[in-house]
Amino acid sequence: MRMRALERAGHEVVRMDAKPFWPKNSLLFKIVFRILVGPHIRRLNQEILRVAREVRPDCFWADKVMALQPSTLKKLRSMGITTVSYMIDNPFGPRKDPGWRLYMKDIPYFDLHCTQRDVSIPEYKMRGARDVVKIQTAYEQTIHFPPPAGWSDKDRNREVSFIGTPYDQRAEVLTELAKAGIPLVISGSERSWKRALEPEIFEKVYREGELKDDAYREGVWRSKINISFLTKSNQDEFTQKSFEIAGCGGFLLAERSKGHTDRFVEGEEAVFFDGIEEMKQQILRYLNDEPARERIAVAGCRRAKESGYDNDSQMRLITDRVAAIRKSGK
């Protein structure tokens, strides 16, 4: 989606997929991902340099590439190529995920780091980052757009909806909603949700599998209330799902945070909750009030568009910074 935005802005983009360079065997993949050495890593880095020598781009954009060797970044920079790391995950957070060993070594060799967390900026600088820009994840306007005129509750077959993954305590919270009689629908990875939910709850609330692209947008359209959780284990200030729901013209019920309340007016452009009890209260308040939901959803969609929560606007922040770096000759 970010590549689409760059192309729409007139940039020529050469796409390189790192996935084929990883082991296909799941056990070997886990081992290589943890140790980040061996022929798979070497071949990826060699191919990056080969393509760079052939294409001679102005910029090398690494979108969460975990297997870059510092020597590769040094060589790219020696060719006059500006190096950018776009990292929406949190390498410094409490989750302690594996796979960050090379990335931590790479930090001083990127010309620009793009992060969506204020808390990460001093961490990057402490580790020698040359430049850091705060961005936010965004909705993709070619996918996330409002429903046709006249769309209403007669077109909606999902009452209270969550589309996503069972990170943190989401399964426990949603189980409590279901047990309280809230008409809940969950979509996402069947395997993950089957593991996370009690069997009888899974049978009651899970349906439609993983929803992506058009199916995801239509899932939002068909939902009276769309829930958006923060991933607290990743120290999220806001979540991409909130911007996607707003972009789709959906009624957004999101976990309250400064990141969310800075970006949507509470009660006018979105509705927020702290904890399960307020979540229940907000659901009961709005579930049967279609005019209020419609008013808030329309205002939230307008805010997302006017405030630049879309991919094009967010990518422009980065490309403008890259242009300044190149002009300065740093």
Q: Are 107 and 128 a contacting pair, CB within 8 Å?
A: yes
Mean pLDDT (whole number) for 273-297: 98
Distance CA 53, CA 119 (A): 36
- What sign results for the dihedral spanned by CA atoms 59, 63, 65, 70? positive
Residues 160 and 281 in one domain: yes
110-123: pLDDT as tens digits: 999 999 999 999 99
Residue 168 belongs to domain with CATH number = 3.40.50.2000
Predicted confidence at residue 33, as pLDDT, reads 92
Residue 137: predicted pLDDT: 93
Amino acid at 274: D
34 and 80: one domain? Answer: yes
Helices and strands (DSSP H and E) totals, the chain: 15, 9
Task: Kindly tell me if the per-residue pLDDT of 169 is higher than 90.
Answer: yes
Statement to judge: residues 158 and 302 lie in one domain: yes
Residue 108 domain-assigned (yes or no)? yes
Bridge partners, residue 186, by sequence: 162, 206
Task: Determine the structural domain holding residue 219 and report its residue range.
Answer: 153-306
Q: What is the pLDDT, as a whole number, of residue 330? A: 63
The two three-digit tokens of residue 7, written as one number: 């192309």
Phi then psi for residue 37, to 5 deg, are -140, 165
Instruction: Identify the band that residue 94 occupies on the pLDDT scale cut at 50, 70 and 90.
Output: confident
Residue 96 has pLDDT above 90, yes or no: no
Is the same domain home to 282 and 302? yes
Distance CA 104, CA 127 (A): 8
Asked, for residue 146, whether it belongs to a domain, the answer is: no
Q: How many domains does the chain have?
A: 2
Whether residues 64 and 95 fall in one domain: yes
Q: Quick one: pLDDT at residue 1?
A: 78
**Is residue 284 located within the same domain as residue 323?**
no
Task: Tell me: do 315 and 296 sit in the same domain.
Answer: no
User: Considering the entire predicted model, what is its pTM?
Assistant: 0.93
Q: What is the overall mean pLDDT for the chain?
A: 97
Answer for the pair 206, 186: CB distance below 8 angstroms, yes or no: yes
Percent of the chain scoring above 70 in pLDDT: 100
**Mind listing the pLDDT tens digit for each residue in 189-233?**
999 999 999 999 999 999 999 999 999 999 999 999 999 999 988
Q: What is the pLDDT of residue 299?
A: 99
CA distance 243 to 216: 13
Give yes or no: residues 10 and 45 share one domain: yes
